[in-house]
Homo-oligomer: A and B are copies of this chain.
Amino acid sequence: MGEREASNSCVDFTPAPTPISQSSSEAETSPASEVQWRPVVGSFRLALIQLQVSSIKSDNLTRACGLVRKAAAQGAKIVSLPECFNSPYGTNYFPEYAEKIPGESTQKLSEVAKECSIYLIGGSIPEEDSGKLYNTHPGTVSYIPQFADYFFKIDSPRPKTNFYAWATKFQLHCMCAPKCAYCRVGLGICYDIRFAELAQVYAQRGCQLLVYPGAFNLTTGPAHWELLQRGRAVDNQVYVATASPARDDKASYVAWGHSTVVSPWGEVLAKAGTEETIVYSDIDLEKVAEIRQQIPIFSQKRSDLYAVEAKKP
């Protein structure tokens, strides 16, 4: 008998905040802007940049940074750019648009993140490395020294069928105050959202927010974009967010748009249309704990019957 709400078994799955250790040298390098951060109890603002990507790389970078500044001015503490935000979407464009990492684009992301005192999830950019092309998640650049220059390379196991983004493990600690962990964010790109196991591993590891920069198309977008986000959210009782490029009907690959934030209950909290915009949502970590108490699926999984196992730390 399923859907009587359990009342008296509490799931304490949400990990206790663990301070990020800071060596004295790291503390010394913390910028002055850090003091403007106010301690936040269980809540912070997320922003998703639904960028209208043009064919001019420098213009994409400039406008992306401008929107990041705008989001930060609205109080966003974590900001995500979309997949392939500095280049038109398509492998045929990659030889021209690919760059080294670190390189021009990551340098600019790092600068704007430091300037705004935010965590910036860099979506993805085409990368050239040793003669090969990648759709690379440029990690998350921030003003916290230990997280700067954390890049996340995504390999391409299927060159003949086009390449896909594959997430491996990735965890970002976000801070609300210098010695207080904010939340854990699990990251994937686009197609990764189809793999339930990745989200399950993230949840096991304490993520309360999953962010997928991605660009579904006009077939899979209406069919699965929102469904997959809501499914990941309700199955793992986490917030789920997606950041898509804005739609360009003249492009060779037309992105679905509709960047979205979904609550751990599976509700759509905020959703863009198809045009360039910024999506904001306040992420309330107490909501995660509340829902996990209300429907205690984590404590009631039958580990004697099945388990999702991560193969790498």
Binding site for B on A (CB under 8 A): 1-9, 83-84, 89, 91, 135, 157-158, 160-166, 168-169, 189-198, 200-201, 214-217, 219-221, 223-224, 227-228, 230-231, 234-235, 253, 265-267, 295, 297, 300-312
Contacts and interface: CB of A to CB of B under 8 A. Distances in A.
Contacts of A234: 224, 227-228, 231
Contacts of A157: 300
A312 B304 CA distance: 8
Contacts of A307: 197, 308-309, 311
A9 B158 contact: yes
A223 B227 CA distance: 13
A163 B1 contact: yes
Nearest to A156: B1
Contact of A310 (B83, B196, B305): B305
Contacts of A219: 3, 5
A242 to B, nearest CB: 11
A82 to B, nearest CB: 12
A144 B16 CA distance: 55
14 contacts: A1-B189, A2-B192, A3-B217, A9-B160, A169-B305, A194-B235, A197-B305, A197-B308, A198-B305, A200-B306, A201-B306, A227-B234, A227-B266, A304-B311
A196 to B, nearest CB: 5
A234 B190 CA distance: 15
